[in-house]
Amino acid sequence: MTATGTQNSDVPVLIVGAGPVGLALAGDLGWRGIRTMLVEKSDGEIRQAKMDMVGIRSMEYCRRWGIVPWVESAGYNRDYPQDCAWVTNLNSHEFGREFFPAPRAEKSPPQSPQKRERCPQNFFDPVLRRFAERSGLCSLRYETELIGFIEHEDKVVATLRDSRSGKEETVVASYMVGTDGGASTVRRRLDIPMDGPEALTYTTNIIFRCDGLEKLHRMRPAYRYIFIGLEGTWATLVAINGRDQWRFSLVGDSERRAYTDEELSAAIVRAVGREFNFEILSILPWVRRQQVARRYGTKRVFIAGDAAHLTSPTGGFGMNTGIQDAVNLSWKLAAKIEGWGGEHLLRSYEAEQRPVGLRNVAEATDNLKRMLNPRVAQPPKELFENSPEGDRARKEFGDRYTETMRREWFSIGIHLGYMYEHSPIIVPDGTPQPPDTVQTYQPTARPGSRAPHVWLAEGKSTLDLFGREFVLLRFGQDAPSGKGFVTAAQKRGVPLRVETILDPGAGDVYERRLVLVRPDGQSAWRGDQEPDDVLQVIDVVRGSASDNVLPVANTGRTVS
């Protein structure tokens, strides 16, 4: 304690905000042996699940961390169908639907050992908290608020306040990361502006409980219903636990307005199409945004997740992009703390992840526009009539809307096909950039891309080789030995392991006899022979080769 009664603590990384991104960052750093302090100004209870789908790339990280069984057993009913349907109301007409198997029955695609998982935030946050605490290296403190901080050349000095006792504490950290949401204190203190529209729609979420809702309507069960009336798309209903809890979203426009409890209850009754008994558990007015931070941080203070990018939830990209932020940043922080990361390494976080944020946020907004398109092309009144003309109109409208919405439901390219095209710590191989697509994904080991999944044995993927260190993959027994990489890595103190893969199919996918994969699972270099200057390659990928530093991209790629 100091003379003023303020306690002092030292920690390598201070993380502000214990949502899923902050918890994942603390967990990944702990998995790498790095101590963290994670503070959250709320009590940690999830009263509104802001996300409900853990994407396929996030599940690959969960596989790496060994927590897939925790996600699968977190609490969602994995036998509940995942269909998406568009209707007038649940007791009237269905325009169409996209059929999906229940989570337990859904299979992994050929491009990954994992699949997406339905795990809303009220289930996923406790899983990630357990992960963050597993290593014993994370000091997790709820009801603790960041009051301010000063960034020095060699440290960050932050002031925290315990909201229960009012006591303040000074924390001296090597680095600080703000994962503290859209209203990020860290981002505002850094005076980083957000670019993009501030309000796409004002929406109100209502979590309500109703046991046996499926018995009160005529529709087949679905995970998500979209409601379309004469005014166009006006609401959605999502299964929160696949049992008795639902999230009803009253989708407004760009004008803010408040609703009474009676109005919200009436909207739920309208959507179901009959009077019924239900219990409102929580209400959350919120605004959809399409914004990305102009910068992702400074030398020692960074932002990630919603603090860095705000997106419409249409597509499920927000939290999953944030988890990718965390994994990208984690190994670089660890490298700097352990002493082998170069002076430019942390700069690459913004260079790599900001274009991904721009890309994903823009795609989510386009999904929103497709969902709300019936507002633009106002539905004809025949859609809501019980007549042969109504049947024909509903069939025509439903087929068209179903095809329009398909891009949102099938987006493997967004989750797995991101490319760090202008990264200063990637060594290009001269091959042209492949198309950046949404609905399809062609695996490639081209530098800057996610190292592809190939099954090597029963239950063992190439992805299982990556995580803690650099891995040099040798394809074929006659491939170059990689001794030059080993020597160069040892000289620079870079953790590196050599793996020989004899499966010819894997060699075909990776296309070169040698591929260097980073700790986050991205391809960093590839070739058929070791380069003439292996030490230069090692210096580039660890962020110490100044002549390889490229300007940070300020715009996202066009996604087809």
- 539: CB partners within 8 A, 6+ apart: 342, 492, 545
Average pLDDT over residues 519-524: 98
Tokens coding 86: 């568009």
Average pLDDT along the chain: 94
Helix (H, G, I), strand (E, B) or coil at 292: strand
Average pLDDT over residues 223-233: 97
551 pLDDT tier (thresholds 50, 70, 90): very low
In tens, the pLDDT along 264-301 reads: 999 999 999 999 999 999 999 999 999 999 999 999 99
Q: To the nearest whole percent, how much of the chain has pLDDT over 70?
A: 96
218 pLDDT tier (thresholds 50, 70, 90): very high
Residue 356: closest CA among 302, 408, 420: 420
Helix (H, G, I), strand (E, B) or coil at 38: strand
In tens, the pLDDT along 321-362 reads: 999 999 999 999 999 999 999 999 999 999 999 999 999 999
Tokens coding 538: 């090692």
In tens, the pLDDT along 415-435 reads: 999 999 999 999 999 999 999
Name the pairing type of β-strands 455-457 and 470-475.
unpaired
H/E element, 484: helix 483-492
Tokens coding 461: 């993927």
pLDDT value of position 50 = 85
Dihedral angle sign, alpha carbons of residues 330, 331, 337, 343: negative
H/E element, 272: helix 261-272
Q: CA-to-CA distance for 213 and 245, rounded, in angstroms?
A: 9
CA 7 to chain centroid, in Å, comes to 35
Average pLDDT over residues 78-98: 97
- Residue 484 pLDDT exceeds 70: yes
Helix (H, G, I), strand (E, B) or coil at 40: strand
- 146: CB partners within 8 A, 6+ apart: 16, 39, 41, 158, 159, 160, 180, 185, 186
Residue 407 vs residues 261, 285, 371, 404: alpha-carbon distances, Å: 35, 27, 11, 7
- Residue 248 pLDDT exceeds 50: yes
DSSP assigned state of 41: S
Average pLDDT over residues 221-248: 96
Q: CA-to-CA distance for 499 and 64, rounded, in angstroms?
A: 17
Average pLDDT over residues 121-139: 97
pLDDT value of position 558 = 47
Q: CA-to-CA distance for 214 and 392, rounded, in angstroms?
A: 27
pLDDT value of position 546 = 67
pLDDT value of position 7 = 56
- 501: CB partners within 8 A, 6+ apart: 456, 462, 473, 474, 475, 476, 507
H/E element, 161: strand 156-162
- Residue 555 pLDDT exceeds 50: no
Tokens coding 536: 């230069």
pLDDT value of position 286 = 94
User: CA torsion, points 556, 182, 312, 283, in degrees to nearest 10?
Assistant: 180
